[in-house]
Amino acid sequence: MSLFHWQKQSADILNQGGVIAPDERLPWPQTAIMGVQHVIAMFGSTVLAPYLMGFDPNLAIFMSGIGTLIFYFITGGKVPSYLGSSFGFIGVVIAATGYAGHGPNANIAVALGGIIVCGAFYALIGLAVQAIGTSWIERLMPPVVTGSVVAVIGLNLAAVPIKNMAASTFDSWMQLVTFVSVALVAVFARGMVQRLLILTGLLAATVIYFILTNGLGWGKPMDFSGIVHAAWLGWPRFTAPAFSTNAALLIAPVALILVAENLGHIKAVTAMTGRKLDAYMGRAFIGDGIATMVSGAAGGSGVTTYAENIGVMAATRIYSTAVFVVAALIALLLGFSPKFGALIQAIPLPVMGGVSIVVFGLIAVAGARIWVVNRVDFSDSANLLVAAITLVLGTGDFTLKFGGFALGGIGTATFGAVLLHAVLRRGRPALR
């Protein structure tokens, strides 16, 4: 297909339970709605990650749109993906800047310089893959490893909604109401409503929350003052980077985590669509690396292929890259509209937490799907141990410290899976 041409499919295919391939699209109204759903699915994490680092969330949303378009162009529109703020940067950015965890990060410029260096390192890895091929990466990260890493991303993030998005018993019950609402839509709805399970479930749960809190006074009421006072239009707050050797040495290794996330993303999409996307792996790394550099240069956080959107694709079976172009354009509008950003931020935290539980769970299942599709043999004790240890390292957030550098759960799980597989593979080349 050309860069902006997709084969149009009738909306009736939704009622028939059909799949929309990357080079296909629904009619534009349905495509636009799916784009909105992807933006909402990634919004919680794309706002939460920069918030935890003291970055401007509105700028992070804006740069996620820019990054997604960069990725789309560099991959030739072949790889369905959204680029959002990476959680892999949180620990190293806090360590490099000494951020106390409240308000704007006073040393953000130093972190931005390190993010740019990380993006450059990542793009160089992509150039190597483009020149040499993917076989060396696939030897390091076969299906048993990539499936484990993808599953770990969802399991590691599971603690975010459960521990940080439910401050009271009422909030926990509202999380339950939310994920049950999503599940009911997924099972009992039909057609486009069923494909919009995340968005529909979120809206239903928000209405229920409003009735229970603002109407009956059972919990913290929704606050609309931010929407009222926010401007309709406004420029994002850009920040110039500064370069520090120490910060660069701390932040640059995150590129290896981004490689694992991107590789897992491509493997997951390959498994879901049945289309082999390995030929675009080098370009995907380059696109993600350049997008990270551009984001850091403007004051945004480092970006990565977004696991939340894997969950949405797995649930909807709509893989059209047109959806992600729409989602990117919506993110750009969000960056220029503080009022719309305030509207999204008015969504109750426990409702967003309930949606996150669904999405993170779908990510974990996407990792298991890689095992199933590639017929990973778990009667082989080596495969079994690689997967078992990786899952526990990531889920338990096992952290290793090297001086001022801390490698968190996703990082230790990723490198642990690669190294353990390499050790156990010696003398057993058939190990998958």
- 166-191 pLDDT per residue, tens: 888 899 999 999 999 989 988 888 76
DSSP 283-304: HHHHHHHHHHHHHHHHTPPPEE
Residue 359, domain member (yes or no): no
Q: Is the pTM of this model over 0.75?
A: no
Residue 340, domain member (yes or no): yes
H/E segment holding residue 195? helix 191-195
Residue 322, domain member (yes or no): yes
**CA 161, 354, 153: angle at the middle one, nearest 5?**
50
Name the region of 320 (left: φ>0; alpha: ψ -120 to 50; beta: rest): beta
Residue 221, domain member (yes or no): no
Straight-line distance from the first to the last Cα atom of the chain, in angstroms, rounded to the nearest whole number: 33
Per the model's pLDDT, the better-predicted residue between 101 and 248 turns out to be 248
The amino acid occupying position 49 is A
Q: How many CA atoms lie within 13 A of 289 on its CB side?
A: 24
3-state class of 402 per DSSP?
strand
Helices (H) and strands (E) in the chain, counts: 21, 6
Tens-digit pLDDT profile for residues 80-130 = 888 988 877 876 787 788 776 556 788 899 999 999 999 999 999 999 999
Residue 2, domain member (yes or no): no
Beta-carbon contacts of residue 270 (< 8 Å; ≥ 6 apart): 276, 277, 278
Residue 3, domain member (yes or no): no
Tens-digit pLDDT profile for residues 149-158 = 878 877 877 7
CA–CA separation, 326 and 198 (whole Å): 17
Task: Say if residues 81 and 309 touch (Cβ distance below 8 Å).
Answer: yes
Residue 178, domain member (yes or no): no
The total number of structural domains in the chain stands at 1
Range of the domain at 258: 18-166+231-349+367-425
Residue 92, domain member (yes or no): yes
Residue 84 dihedral angles phi and psi, to the nearest 5°: -130, 175
- Taking residue 225's Cβ as centre, other Cβ atoms within 10 Å add up to 9
pLDDT over threshold 90, residue 69: yes
